[in-house]
Structure 1
Amino acid sequence: GASRLDKTLCAAPTTAVALGMYGKMPGVAFEDYVDARCIVLWGGNPRVSHVHLVPFIKEARQRGAFVAVVDPVRTFPASEADLHLPVLPGADLPLALALIRYWAKWDALDLPFLARHATGVEPLLEQAEMWTLEVAGAATGVAPADIERLAREYAERSPAVIRCGWGPEPAILAMPALLGKFGVRGGGYTMSNSGAVRFDRDAVLGPIEWSTERLNQTQLARQLLSERSPRLRALFVYNCNPVATVPEQTLVLAGLRRDDLFTVVFDQVMTDTAMYADIVLPATTFLEHWDVRVGYGRYAVGLCRPVIEPRGEARSNIEVFGQLGRAMGFSDEAFGWTQEEAARRVLDAVQTPDGIALEPVDDGITWKPAFPDGSPIQFGTVFPLTPDRKVNLTPPVLGQAPYRWDPVPTGRYPLSLISPATAKTVNSTMGQYALDELYVEIHPDDALPRAITDGDRVRVFNDLGEVACSARVSDRIRSGVVLIPKGAWRASSGNGATATALCPADVNPVAGGACYNDARVEVQLM
């Protein structure tokens, strides 16, 4: 049978840790941020990827909330944030551990809360012991005084909420538990709120068992080029553009060029990946098919209905995989469902934690969980969905060396490369229209010794590849770090390579997730 794919490009380690620590407990609702008196935005940029959260942050600040941003890039102007901690990529753990050590020494830990609601506290506190403000400052590139200021503001203010991005360390998620920031509206943390609504697959499809191998999506390039037996002979790509998104882009392209690889791309547009396909199948857009979508910010379940007929020969996922299944001789009922039937069966199989009902927001289109008082209060009206209903601050998924920091060596490449979402490239969808010319953003202190000025043509390179683009010199990004936008297509680059050409396909020991920010590079004038 076909190999199974571990979808590790987005948030795999974070999801595994959130499940291990809190069981993906529903997070603080966006609208409750207005009640917070301290908001920490760590590893995410709501101004481009969660714009519907920004008005609530602004309102909270107008009410007196302290807003801190932890990011290598100054994503919020000084008029909208009180403190910016420009942490070096990969150094979030030392920063979080320094905060935890400070609170422990300051007797700020909420010991009664931890005794009632937490396990695994001691291993975390032991690992934090070495991280003084000065040691953490050297490792993170953040001024010790700013670390101390964040520690005090977060400890002294309540309600306090942390908005976590998709790649932060588990120590960040431990912070609200250590200080007992739960139990009040606007207090706790928010990651993805999609866990508040779950799909019971067995209720729709029945129990399914697989015996085929699992392949890590992050390491697609290595798998395509492997001489293993049996060798991969066919690739079906849908809902994805791996040439733009998978690490080690140069090797991905080499794998797709194999004469003995049969590639099918099923997409709405002619992506960079589709250019290497043997067959391209036209897919419907969201305007043309039925679907069920679960919000990962706002608490909502939506039944999406088509508003126009499919154009040309475009077909939906349900239609194409149903037809393929029947053509291959499978008789399972699901292969014969219509789009609407499949969507309504999925909707009927949606579950919410602790029996919380779904209530309609409007006429058969949108539903939301009917939390007591309208939205969840962590450790008040919702609790961890772990077996013992407690938070496990050192879950087994962290392995044998939890909270140990392993910095990425720089060697010949002194600059850390990040490739975050931007206002025009939240993902790679329609990337051919979003970015006419690829650029690298570089701090003046890094540009000056390299004789780089704004608008210069430069090469960004390491042992994996090279990207030709223009330079944008800006103090918005911290020194020692450069930025190439996420999701760019090859046509925007001077040599047909984008940020993923510089990203290693090494994987996180937790859940095998992609390590995009482990890329280390040099920048030179062309």
Structure 2
Amino acid sequence: MNSANSKILESVCPMDCPDSCSLEVEIKDNKIHRIGGSHKNPTTQGFICTKIARFAQRVYSPERILYPMKRAGKKGSGKFERITWQEAAEIICHKFKQIVANWGGEAILPYSYGGSNGLLHQDTLDREFFARLGASRLARVVCAAPTTEVALSMNGKMPGTAFEDYVYSKCIIIWGANPKVSNIHLVPYLKKARARGAKIAVVDPKRNFSAKEIDLHLPVYPGTDLVVALAMIRFYHEINQLNWPFIKEHTRGIEILLEKARPYTFERAAEIARVKSADIEKLARLYLENDPAVIRVGWGIERNRNGGQAVAAILALPAVLGKFGKRGGGYTLSNSAAYKYDSRSVSSYPWNTRVLNMNHLGKILTREKNPPIMGLFVYNCNPVATVPNQKAVLTGLLREDLFTVVHEQVFTDTAQLADIVLPAPTFLEQTEIKSAYGTYALQYLEPVIPPVGEAKSNFEVFALLAHTMGWNDPVFRHCAEEYLQKIIKNIRGMGKNLSLEKLKQEKIEFFDFPDKIPIQFQNVFPWTSDQKINLTPAVLGHNPFHYSEIHSPYPLTLISPATEKTINSSLGEYNLPRLFLTINPRDAKTRGIKSGDLVKVYNDLAEVVVEARLSENIRPGVVAMPKGAWRRTSKNNLTSTALVPDHVNQVGGGACFNDARVEVAKVKGGF
């Protein structure tokens, strides 16, 4: 406690990030004064990203939604008027009952993603409500679906190498990830490993590390990671370096993998990936000759039509060389399966209605379905800013016959198009249990301030709606505490002594691994039926490891990487004032473009008008716009997702953001 009117309270960051930081929040005069990192979660190491350090700006934003509101003008006008919670609930339930009567429950679609990232406020009462209603189900696959499907099929989502064990690595490959902006607590371990002599290589179209920080940057063309990994496997086979004892004892499916790798010499892979063959060989030798070696497998790999195939080939690399069984060896992907929790284990109703892919929202809302979607309930996400084919999404949301509810903290692009807007609390205003997909900890957070305005949590909202619907089912009468108890009882992998009371007291519980951390093939093994790695998983389809090339009249590939400014689209209201396009000077020169020029980025789907910024950090043939930008940041109110086709990955149905092909031209004027 700093003074009579100041106190320090503990919290946890539940945002969509693998680090799951423990926080110290200073409350002064009953308001948030400062947010910093604590040492409760050892991975946090007492520091946090600037996004969360500045999160009080979101809490007290002038754009904060303080009360329930209903549309008071034409859709998209941004005109709303205040109503009470009871009025809002009655309007929503009346409309939902009408829709069910006229079109059936499947005409209502709940639309959510990872805005909560906790166990209480997603897949609890919301799931119960929509299952009871008979609504359509949503495939939440905008991110991580291909990697999840592949990891499950290959190794049962075996827990990966802990961040702190990277200091023991002699070779680290960061493939399709930028820890400097979306996994910052890995960075200190990279620096320590580097100081101890580790070789570090980065595979990414964009340079995110300096030459002093790494030994090799391989700027592969988006979508070609697959052929690079296959070329490495072919090389190891050709020079008789495959670890056959490990392969025979711990894997299956090697024959097909080797057959598919055979055509990819370094030269052929280099031609496809548009890099030097000598650099692919350098990467292959770095990984072969240094042990232990670890691969940080990022989600950037999956964001194209070859993504699932590529992830499988990359995850095969440590298996074919036997790079397991030591601290600092193996790979890290998502560790979310470590705590073995399935939200369906606490649900009361079967839910067997149709499943709609969230990446197809534009199609779903604008093309005839049977039944059509007449009611949309959006929470924990901002689809206008995050899913492909933005113009189709906007067209669908502007339908006058579509009833849209948005539960949100601030007036996002999606909230602006709602019929009813409901105020949501931030994580600093509600109770939650935070699981992790990077660190190995389960954490408890409780409010550090009361809800701002009349904000209600997801749990409270769906309890209110169920009551207003006239449902008296016992599940809707559970308080949050009772549901938390149900959740805790259904978590596995945390040891026998896990209890809600203990978690509340300690604020953090660690996974029950021997030696406290997982070491692949030493104290954790594949969670497959035979504890073997399936090198050719069935999810890859009838033609596994097939490379598919895009033929397009548009010569540039658009990527939308994460930035240090936002978490997906969260915090976009103040952290990204102007949208820009990063372009290589060579590509800019041929188009007569200079830094600061206004340019249009276009294809058959849309054009987006933004400012150009020239940089050698982006490879030729590729341009980049920040992920999750809001519409108002561009000159013409469209963002990168307007240029992204809504076809999906054959593995897991994931979005193919990096399949966007575009052209860029200079336009007159300025912002």
The TM tier, using the shorter chain, reads: over 0.9
Partner of 2:263: 130
Following the alignment from structure 2 to structure 1, what is the Cα–Cα distance between the partners of residues 376 and 404? 5
Structure 2 residue 213 is matched with structure 1 residue 57: no
* Cα distance change on mapping 1:259 and 1:203 into 2, 3 Å: closer
Matches within 5 A, 1:385-464: 385-410=527-552, 412-464=553-605
> 1:190 deviation in Å?
0.1
Q: Are 2:428 and 1:287 aligned?
A: yes
TM-score (norm 2): 0.76
- Within 2, Cα distance between the matches of 1:357 and 1:147? 49
Provide the residue aligned with 1:324 in structure 2: 465
Q: What code does the residue aligned with 1:488 have?
A: A
CA RMSD of aligned residues (A): 1.5
Which runs of structure 2 are paired with 1:310-321 in the superposition (5 Å)? Answer: 310-321=451-462
Partner of 2:201: 68
Match of residue 45 from structure 2: none
CA distance 1:87–1:367, change in 2 (3 Å): same
Letter in 1 for 2:547: W
1:340 to 474, 478, 481: 481
Among residues 96, 107, 114, which one is paired with 2:247 in the alignment? 114
Kindly state the Cα deviation for residue 362 of structure 1 after the two structures are TM-superposed: 8.8
| Residue matched to 2:375 | 234
What is the alpha-carbon distance in structure 2 between the residues aligned to residue 310 and residue 157 of structure 1? 52
Aligned pairs, how many? 523
Q: Shift of the alpha carbon at 1:286? A: 0.5
Q: Determine if contact 1:289/1:339 at 8 Å carries over to the other structure.
A: no
Separation of aligned partners in 1, 2:247 and 2:472: 53
Describe the shift of the 1:24–1:356 C-alpha distance in structure 2 as closer, same or farther (beyond 3 A).
farther
User: Amino acid of the residue matched to residue 438 of structure 2?
Assistant: G
Query: Does the 8 A contact of 1:225 with 1:255 survive in 2?
Result: yes
Kept in 2, the 8 Å contact 1:356–1:369? The answer is no
Report what 2:627 is aligned to: 486
Q: Report the counterpart of residue 185 of structure 1 in structure 2.
A: 327
Match of 1:176 in 2: 318
Cα deviation for residue 326 of structure 1 reads 2.8
Residue aligned with 1:467, SS: strand
Q: Deviations over 1:406-442 (max 9, x none)?
A: 01222x2000000010111231002121111100000
Residue 376 (str. 1) matches residue 518 (str. 2): yes
CA distance in 2, matches of 1:523, 1:239: 34
Map of 2:148 onto structure 1: 15
1:141 aligns with: 274
Q: What does the per-residue CA deviation read over 1:17-40, in whole Å, with 9 as the maximum and x for residues that have no partner?
A: 000001010000000000000000
Q: Which runs of 5+ in 1 are unaligned?
A: none
The 1:26/1:356 distance shift into structure 2, 3 A limit, reads farther
Paired-residue identity, %: 54
Deviation at 1:358? 5.8
Following the alignment from structure 1 to structure 2, what is the Cα–Cα distance between the partners of residues 30 and 361?
Answer: 23
Aligned to 1:90: 223
Distance 1:21 1:327, change over 3 A: same
Which of 143, 146, 154 is the equivalent residue of 2:287? 154
Report the secondary structure of 1:232's partner residue.
coil
Secondary structure of the 2:428 match is coil
Shift of 1:124: 0.8
Point out 4+ residue stretches in structure 1 off by more than 4 angstroms.
Answer: 355-362
Question: 3-state SS of the aligned residue for 1:432?
Answer: helix
Aligned residues of 1:358 and 1:369 also touching (Cα < 8 A): no
The two structures have a TM-score, normalised by structure 1, of 0.97
**Which residue does the alignment assign to 1:77?**
210
SS state at 1:39 partner: strand
The 3-state SS of whatever aligns with 1:40 is strand
Q: Does structure 1 retain, via aligned residues, the 8 Å contact 2:493–2:512?
A: no
Gaps of 5+ in 2: 1-133
Q: Is the 8 A contact 1:458 1:524 kept in 2?
A: yes
One of 394, 400, 419 as aligned partner of 1:253: 394
What is the alpha-carbon distance in structure 2 between the residues aligned to residue 425 and residue 72 of structure 1? 20
Shift of 1:333: 3.0
- How far did 1:337 drift? 2.3
- C-alpha separation in 2, matches of 1:305 and 1:151: 48
